[in-house]
Structure formats: structure tokens, C-alpha cells
DNA sequence: TTCCTATGTTGGAATCATTACAAAGTAATT
DNA sequence: AATTACTTTGTAATGATTCCAACATAGGAA
């Protein structure tokens, strides 16, 4: 389970966002901050079954929706039918495998600048007042390249 | 409804992709190619109720899934709970209103090059064999800026 | 500390988009 | 024109997500 510093950090995050601190919120956020597995609601429920065996799915949905509204977390679809969640501690985007659904975080030096450029350009063109973006890149993960016998 | 040249063009597109040409596929693709309203399955059903009154939702889902697999069409979520579809005739990305869900197409000179750069960089970093990407930018559309009384 | 109230949690029911399936129809090839 | 694999259709099934009402509690006020 999450170590103490993750628990302290996530507690601070909740307070900074003026969210009422409940055990459920705190543990779910700590789970997300310490796992980079892009879990679904079910994955989170299973992962926290020791700590909070009676936590209902509704609570997880409610909590995640709250986090998404506060921009602590982003939603991802990988084509398997349910939504995956990712703690957004540092700016990054996602590469998603079109065969197995595996999601990995990607970033590079200058990514934040590129993001900002895209947002400014979009504001100029569309007239929207931009508040965020999502970028996803699709392809075959290394394992599936081998599994399917494709060659580069 | 779609004019003749759209019907001819979409017929060619179906044949080029070696898709069996059925009235349903042809009319749905022509609808998508001539409307830039990012319709849902229901919107398409309503829009084509004159031409094909007996077309079932299953057919629309089947057809759209086929088009997505062939990369003729992309799926979009705007937060209203159902999936929106967009004919992908020319490269572009989307700006989505976080208040009303309105989706607009955006592009700019050099967008295709930027896309390619992103894909190559992602391949290098992640090891994925890249086949495509989606970019979305979120914010308030001009109407909702006025409606909500926000100022730039 | 204790009380109070707004807010959060729970679990089960309800909803709604999407898929599965089997029967009937049809495009395109021989 | 016959054949066959593929498509359409309607309905049933699925499954993720939301709704709701009762209960619980975090955190501020006294």
C-alpha cells in the first residue's frame, strides 16, 4: 500500500483543493498516486478491498468524478468498454495499444511548451477559452508486436 | 440530403476500402461526409429517417464500427454519455466545449507535420508501433463564454 | 470538547448506450 | 441465374454508470 509520504502528499492535495477529507477519498487518491496502472473502478475496488472492504462502487464513481472535476485525475478509454483513471501529477500524454489496451505514460522535454502552443493556437482559431487538452497516440505495444509477429 | 458528388465520392471510398456496398453504408457515409455536426447514433437515425425509415440502431452501430476500423470515421466523447462520430476526410483535431458539449473541427497549416512529429517521438520513447492519434482541446465555446458571463 | 449541519457514503434499483444473437435478406462472384 | 458469404434487423442481454433515499461523518461553531 501507499507509503507515508504519499499519504501526506495526497492529504495536502485534498486540503489544497478544499475537498472534505474522507478515508475513501484519501485512500483512493493515494492509490492513484502510487500506482501507474491506469486502473478501472473495478481495479481500484479490488486493490483497496483490504483497506476498505465495504466501499461501494458508487463511492468510487463519485470520488473519481470529483477528482476529474478538480483536474486531479483524467479519464481514459482503451477500448475495453470501461473507463480508466490516471492521476495527473505531472504533465504527460498516453500511448494506448490497439491490440491489448495497455496504456503507458509518455512525456519528453518541452512537452509542456508544445501543449501550451497547441492550446494558444486552438484558442486563436476556434474562439474557445481553453482549459485543457488530451492527447493520445495509438499503436501496437512492444509485447503485441512480438505476439502478432509484425516487424518494424 | 447529400448531393450527387458526395454520393459518387462516398461510393468510391467504400469500393476503395473493399467494403460491400449496401444502401445503409452508402447513405450513412454520405450523411457523415456532408454533415459536420458530429452526430450520435440517434442523430444519424433521425437524420436518415426519411431515406431509410426501417434502419435499425444495430445497423448504425455495426456500420460505424466498420468505418472506425477502416479509419474512415473517428469516435468522440463530449461528456453527454453517448459517442459522437466524425468523418475523417482531412486531418484535423477537435475543440470540445466543457459546458455544452459542442464539438468543432480545428486544423492549421503544418498540423499534419506536427502530428507526424508527435507520432515519431512517441514511437522512439515508448517502443510502440504507432498507427494513429487523437488530440482534443477543451474549453468554453464562444456562446457559453457569453452565456456564463466570463470575460477573456 | 460537543453539537450541528452540510456533505459524503452506501447499496440497490434504474437507466441507457452498446453488443450479441439468430433469422431473413442481399451484394457480388461463378 | 445460382451460390455463398456477408449484412441487416429486431429483440434480448449485457454491463457500465447514475440515481435515490437512508444513514454516517467531517469539520466548523459554540
Q: Is B122 on the interface with A (CB under 8 A)?
A: yes
Say how far apart CA A89 and CA A21 lie, in whole Å: 19
Distance (Å, whole) CA A110 – CA A131: 19
Rounded Cα distance between B121 and B127, Å, is 10
Last residue of a domain, one of B89, B116, B134: B89
> What range does the domain containing B58 cover?
1-89
- Interface check for A125 against chain B (CB to CB < 8 A): the answer is yes
pLDDT of residue B150: 86
Query: What are the beta bridge partners of residue A95?
Result: A104, A137
In this predicted model, what pLDDT tens digit does every residue of A89-132 receive, in sequence order?
A: 999 999 999 999 999 999 999 999 999 999 999 999 999 999 99
DSSP-based three-state secondary structure for A93? strand
Do B107 and B118 belong to one domain?
yes
Name the residue facing B135 among A106, A133, A139 (closest C-beta): A133
Residues B65 and B121 in one domain: no
Quote helix, strand, coil % in chain A, to nearest 5. 45, 20, 35
Among protein residues, the one whose C-alpha sits closest to the C1' atom of D16 is A82
> Using a CB-CB distance cutoff of 8 angstroms, which residues of chain A are in contact with residue B150?
129
In angstroms, the CA B149 to CA B152 distance is 10
For residues A49 and A98, state if they share a domain: no
What does the pLDDT read at residue B152? 59
User: Which positions on strand C lie below 7 Å from a protein C-beta?
Assistant: 7-12, 16-21, 26-28
Indicate the pairing of strand B83-87 with strand B73-77.
antiparallel
Give the model confidence (pLDDT) of B37-69 as tens digits. Answer: 999 999 999 999 999 999 999 999 999 999 999
How far does A29 lie from chain B, in Å, by closest CA? 23
Cα of A110 to nearest chain B Cα, Å: 12
Query: How confident is the model at residue A128, as a pLDDT?
Result: 98
Q: Mean pLDDT score of chain A, rounded to an integer?
A: 95
Are A145 and A105 in the same domain? yes
CA B59 from chain centre, in angstroms, equals 18
Shared-domain flag, residues A97 and A70: no
How many Å apart are CA B10 and CA B13, to the nearest integer?
A: 5
Please check whether residues B35 and B84 belong to one and the same domain: yes
**Are the beta carbons of A27 and A48 closer than 8 angstroms?**
yes
The CATH number given to whatever domain includes residue A15 is: 1.10.10.10
> Which three three-digit cell numbers place residue B51?
431515406
Q: How many domains does chain A have?
A: 2
B128 and B64 share a domain? Answer: no
Amino acid at each position: 500500500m501507499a507509503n507515508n509520504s504519499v499519504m501526506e502528499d495526497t492529504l495536502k492535495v485534498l486540503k489544497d483543493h478544499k475537498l472534505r477529507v474522507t478515508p475513501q477519498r484519501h485512500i483512493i487518491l493515494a492509490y492513484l498516486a502510487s500506482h501507474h496502472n491506469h486502473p478501472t473502478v473495478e481495479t481500484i475496488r479490488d486493490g483497496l478491498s483490504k483497506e476498505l472492504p465495504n466501499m461501494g462502487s458508487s463511492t468510487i464513481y463519485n470520488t473519481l468524478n470529483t477528482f476529474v472535476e478538480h483536474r486531479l485525475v483524467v479519464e481514459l478509454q482503451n477500448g475495453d468498454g470501461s473507463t480508466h483513471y490516471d492521476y495527473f501529477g505531472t504533465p504527460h500524454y498516453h500511448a494506448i495499444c490497439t491490440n491489448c489496451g495497455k496504456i503507458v505514460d509518455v512525456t519528453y522535454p518541452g512537452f509542456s511548451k508544445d501543449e501550451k502552443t497547441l492550446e494558444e493556437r486552438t484558442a486563436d482559431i476556434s474562439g474557445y477559452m481553453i482549459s485543457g487538452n488530451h492527447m493520445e497516440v495509438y499503436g501496437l505495444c512492444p509485447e503485441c508486436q512480438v505476439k502478432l509477429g509484425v516487424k518494424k
